[in-house]
Structure 1
């Protein structure tokens, strides 16, 4: 892991850019973190490979780090600062065209998001290995954000102890089946009027999770309208399971 820049914010959070092979990422650390007082880690991913620098993700990461966690985000393959293939660009263009025309988009999302999950999860595991080797980070580990990746990580990665998932991104059929294997504590956030995510599909997914501790929070509003107070509830959720 090669750290390329760092910035200390007014709230004491230290923001550090890093590269890990071809993977670019950002690590936010609370001012209290040290080798003698390591902090838990939360992996934070944005839906369907949006960049780690997306303002909503950065705001969530800064808030979460100020609450006493190390927070890491990486750019998914083909997203953010990473090179895109011609197939990536075509899939994104096809999605935009179909949505603007009011045409079905499930099969386009399936062909795009499914392979993206397959590529992204091993990179998150590689990143997790490197982060847990830092003396200021001691675990346990939580996950927050992109549901499709979160399901796969929770199913295959025993170091993930709890997850907060956003129901607003497309979840491939493979991950809907894998949800039954997920048994860690979950907080599932649903925007009731999300124009791009059928409500019943999200409710069916919540029902499918194998976790005995799972909580659904549903709020009125569209895709990007998740109330900020859910961040406070998320901190309480992770505090119960990571601290």
Structure 2
């Protein structure tokens, strides 16, 4: 892991930009000297790690005593996209404008994103847990499709907070039955383009006996800020 920059915020949180091979990431660590539990935080792929909503959530968690890390997956942020990626996204935009069915196009876009992102997140996790200021255990927050795969394949993840917005490929809908860690699912009731019944069916499918659903009125980006407080309390129950 190569640290490319670091700065100390007014609340004492240390923000470090890093690279791990071709993977660019950001790590926020609290001011306390004790090793902190870690939360991996991910947006739906296609949004950069510098997105203002993710940064605000990360700073809030770090101020509450967690180490928080995020990375830009392949094709996300400043990382280049392949010709196939660009064509699939162009097909998706065209279908959305035309009002055509898009599930199969989403499958062709999101499925490979998950497959490619999971090994990079696990490599990043290896490097982060080697740092003395991070003591585990590990939580996950954010992108639902990626989080399902990580919760199933990565035994170091002890709890997961998922955002229901965003397409979940068939493979991850099947894998949801294998998720056994405690989870919190956030659902925007009026999320445009993400049918609530699909999210409710997925919540029902999760195999864990410790699952909580928070539903709020509003569209895709309207998640109330108090959910960040509830999220910290959720992770506090399972990571501390």
TM-score (norm 1): 0.97
Two-structure CA RMSD over aligned residues (Å): 0.8
User: How far apart in 2 are the matches of 1:30 and 1:181?
Assistant: 33
Tell me if structure 2 keeps the 8 A contact 1:48–1:170. Answer: no
Corresponding position of 1:26 = 26
What is the deviation of 1:87? 1.2
Secondary structure at the aligned position of 1:15 is classed as strand
What is the deviation of 1:49? 3.6
Tell me if structure 2 keeps the 8 A contact 1:12–1:30. Answer: yes
Corresponding position of 2:175 = 178
User: How far apart in 1 are the matches of 2:222 and 2:94?
Assistant: 24
Q: 1:48 aligns with which of 45, 49, 55?
A: 45
Secondary structure at the aligned position of 2:167 is classed as coil
How many residues in Structure 1 have an aligned counterpart in Structure 2? Answer: 240
What is the deviation of 1:96? 1.9
User: How far apart in 2 are the matches of 1:132 and 1:49?
Assistant: 26
What is the deviation of 1:214? 0.2
User: How far apart in 2 are the matches of 1:39 and 1:137?
Assistant: 5
Corresponding position of 1:121 = 118
Q: 2:196 aligns with which of 192, 196, 199?
A: 199
Secondary structure at the aligned position of 1:48 is classed as coil
| Dislocated runs of 4+, deviation >4 Å | none
TM-score (norm 2): 0.98
What is the deviation of 1:227? 0.4
User: How far apart in 2 are the matches of 1:87 and 1:55?
Assistant: 28
User: How far apart in 2 are the matches of 1:208 and 1:149?
Assistant: 16
Secondary structure at the aligned position of 1:141 is classed as strand
Q: 1:90 aligns with which of 79, 87, 92?
A: 87
2:11 corresponds to 1:11: yes
Q: Which runs of 5+ in 2 are unaligned?
A: none
